[in-house]
Structure 1
Amino acid sequence: MPETTRERLTSGGWKELEFGPFRDAVTIHWIRPFEGDQPGVALLKYEPGASVPRHRHEGLETILVLDGVQSDETGDYIRGSYIVNAPGSEHSVWSDTGCVVLIQWDRPVKILEEEIA
């Protein structure tokens, strides 16, 4: 089986995979890490209440919600939702309930510094 194959992701197969640190209360399972100009593909697991600060997409990002609900400023995305974030778009992401998403980034995102008033 190729190293990039993961089985039964939409039916809970992700529960059998190992996740490592990514951000506070968000863990990652790399399916294919960034390499040169190749996109990164991973699973992200958000604990309830976890968030990722406002960031800009330097390339195309696509997300499939496998479990739970992921949210951003434009809405809440339930299991089965497919989200496309265009290059140059900005948002923050959170999950009140916790969630698992399959994500592909063409390029790493840029975390934006919050302005201090």
Structure 2
Amino acid sequence: MPETTRESLTSGGWKTLPFEPFREDVTIHWIQPFENDQPGVALLKYEAGASVPRHLHMGLETIVVLEGTQSDEAGDYGPGSLVVNRQGTEHSVWSDTGCVVLIQWDRPVKILQEETV
């Protein structure tokens, strides 16, 4: 059995997991935090209208959309979508409807421009 297991994520199993603040209107459930040069793995829950400002990928980022729609400048990604962002790419992310994604980062991203109010 794996060291860390989360069951039934694609059928709503994430709904019973504890989430904590990550960014404004975005919460996180860490499955594997970044430590000792190990990749980070987490669930991110975006409220409707939430966004993450333009950022640079310092390593590979892989996302699976579990619920709702996540968007970036290249398009909209619904449930079951796989999004792979290579090292050196940049984009911003938002969700008009709200969404939950499973995300794996090789390295933390670098925020390029904070949102202004």
**TM-score, length-normalised on structure 2?**
0.94
**SS of alignment partner, residue 76 of structure 1:** strand
Q: Which amino acid aligns with 1:40?
A: G
User: What is the rounded CA distance, in whole Å, between the counterparts of 1:3 and 1:97 in structure 2?
Assistant: 33
* Structure 2 portions without partners, runs of 5+: none
Question: Which string of whole-angstrom CA distances, capped at 9 and with x for unpartnered residues, describes residues 22-73 of structure 1?
Answer: 0000000000000111000000000000000000000000000000000000
User: What is the rounded CA distance, in whole Å, between the counterparts of 2:31 and 2:37 in structure 1?
Assistant: 16
**Aligned: 1:33 with 2:30:** no
Question: Which string of whole-angstrom CA distances, capped at 9 and with x for unpartnered residues, describes residues 76-99 of structure 1?
Answer: 000000000000000000000000
**SS of alignment partner, residue 15 of structure 2:** helix
Q: Which amino acid aligns with 1:24?
A: E
Describe how 1:26-105 pairs up with structure 2 within 5 A. 26-105=26-105
How many residues get paired? 114
1:113, distance to aligned residue in structure 2 (A): 2.5
1:3, distance to aligned residue in structure 2 (A): 5.5
Q: Which amino acid aligns with 1:79?
A: P
Identical-residue share of aligned pairs (%): 80
Deviation above 4 Å: which 4+ runs of structure 1?
none
* Structure 1 portions without partners, runs of 5+: none
**SS of alignment partner, residue 94 of structure 1:** strand
Describe how 1:3-42 pairs up with structure 2 within 5 A. 4-42=4-42
**TM-score, length-normalised on structure 1?**
0.94
